[in-house]
Structure 1
Amino acid sequence: MTSTQNLTAQPVGTALTELVVSVYRETLGVAELDEASDFYEWGGDSLTAFRITARLEETLGVEVPVALVFAYPSPADLASVVESDLVQV
């Protein structure tokens, strides 16, 4: 293994942002979404936020509180917060 920091090889940085963008695109059904897109502007609601966090939890194996989607509505911002939490794990 090349990383001694995280033995589960969870995506970080650009890879994590790309994952979050992918989850947003799939969940919201909008292929044009990018890392700066706003959850609310693309029709996000509470049900969609729960779907996003469930998918991220399933993929990453860490808890992602749904409140983070509302507080950090762009994929880049959400990925940054999730990455900060993963580093603490």
Structure 2
Amino acid sequence: MSNDRYKSVEHCVAVDSSRARISVPLFVNPCFDSVIGPFSQMLKDGEKPVYKHVLFSDYWNYFFRKRPSGKASLDFAKI
């Protein structure tokens, strides 16, 4: 969405065997028929998009067919 302007970090968990750990996963996804891609506001002064616009259901299917492997799933939408 940010056209690689903002970088996310990989998920990392530090385990401490002396204390209990609680995980609360939260997933937010668009509808399967939504088109996803870089926001036009992120493209400044003629900057070219790094990612193409794709149907979220196509990305979802690719993500789970390939098996989640970090940021490698973003290659599906790279131009």
Instruction: Kindly name which structure, 1 or 2, has the bigger radius of gyration based on alpha carbons.
Output: 2
